[in-house]
């Protein structure tokens, strides 16, 4: 799953050569600061008057083997862009500073890529179950991308590339029997993040068959088949990646309450008659 997320982001960047060019320009500026002791000292000095000790930031260099490091580089560069521009303007033989329009593109990229970083960290955990998270994360990434409104043309192009690649590479996860069954068995998630009703019915059938086989093996009666969907809140989830989860659950609960209320009122009318 983490590898697929990496392929999605790398593929989207490669589809948009101007994005890659902009990232390389930022990397060149960061390299200049890393190699110039005086420039780095100036960067710290500019912040010391405004921030407390220990809060002074430095630029982060990206690593070619980790796309997350590119996002970290862009985030830190965006935060320090005003100071960086001031220092570059007062020195000779320095890289050209990015324009204000390009800073807008960088901000769009940060908004678009942050959920992918959070998703990678979620599925890379080793202290909790992650198999049931793959399908919901794929669904939430797609919904999140659809709701983002980039302010730049390049940001919109990157959004489109990411959206298409998420559909191509992550939607097929629903057809993975292990991931679909794990998701159905997670009481927080169950079926609410599935797009394919076929995948849901297949997972339910497989689980029912396995449970009945286990009961027969133990000499017990087969359990009754139910389709109750249990959901619970996920308060400790990262807000930007899981922000769509709460809305989905709220809509399901509201629809269920409306159906129950309608059935009760209809039943009362029949009794009255």
How many percent of the chain have pLDDT more than 70?
Answer: 79
Whether residue 244 is predicted with pLDDT greater than 80 in this model: the reply is: no
C-alpha 260/C-alpha 239 separation (Å) is 31
pLDDT tens digits for range 97-152: 999 999 999 999 999 999 999 999 888 888 888 888 888 888 889 989 999 999 99
Query: Where along the chain do its domains lie?
Result: 2-125
- Residue 250 — very low, low, confident or very high, per pLDDT cuts 50/70/90? low
Q: Residue 244: which residues within 8 A CB-CB, separation 6 or more?
A: 140, 143, 144, 147
Is 235 a residue whose pLDDT tops 60?
no
Give the percent of the chain with pLDDT over 90.
37
Q: What is the structure's pLDDT at 19?
A: 93
Mean pLDDT of 19-36: 93
The model's pTM: 0.74
* Dihedral (CA of 79, 141, 253, 222) sign: negative
Q: Mean per-residue pLDDT for 40-52?
A: 83
- Say which residues have a Cβ less than 8 Å from residue 69's Cβ, sequence separation at least 6: 60, 61, 62, 63
């Amino acid at each position: 799953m983490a590898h697929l997320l990496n392929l999605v982001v790398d593929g989207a960047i490669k589809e948009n050569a101007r994005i890659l060019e902009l990232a390389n320009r930022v990397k060149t500026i960061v390299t200049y600061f890393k190699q110039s002791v005086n420039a780095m000292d100036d960067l710290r000095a500019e912040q010391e008057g405004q921030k407390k000790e220990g809060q002074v930031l430095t630029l982060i260099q990206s690593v070619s083997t980790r796309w997350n490091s590119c996002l970290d580089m862009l985030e830190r560069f965006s935060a320090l862009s005003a100071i960086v521009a001031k220092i570059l303007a007062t020195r000779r033989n320095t890289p050209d500073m990015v324009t204000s329009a390009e800073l807008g593109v960088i901000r769009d990229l940060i908004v678009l890529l942050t959920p992918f970083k959070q998703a990678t960290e979620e599925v890379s955990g080793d202290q909790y179950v992650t198999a049931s998270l793959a399908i919901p994360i794929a669904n939430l990434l797609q919904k999140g991308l659809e709701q983002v409104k980039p302010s730049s043309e390049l940001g919109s192009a990157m959004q489109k590339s990411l959206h298409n690649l998420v559909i191509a590479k992550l939607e097929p996860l629903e057809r993975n029997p292990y991931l679909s069954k794990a998701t159905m068995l997670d009481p927080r998630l169950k079926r609410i993040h599935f797009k394919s009703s076929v995948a849901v019915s297949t997972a339910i059938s497989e689980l029912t068959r396995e449970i009945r086989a286990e009961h027969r093996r133990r000499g017990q009666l087969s359990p009754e088949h139910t389709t109750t969907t249990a959901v619970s809140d996920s308060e400790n989830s990262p807000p930007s990646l899981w922000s769509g989860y709460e809305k989905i659950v709220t809509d399901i609960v509201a629809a269920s309450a409306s159906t129950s209320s309608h059935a009760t009122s209809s039943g009362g009318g029949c009794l009255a008659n």
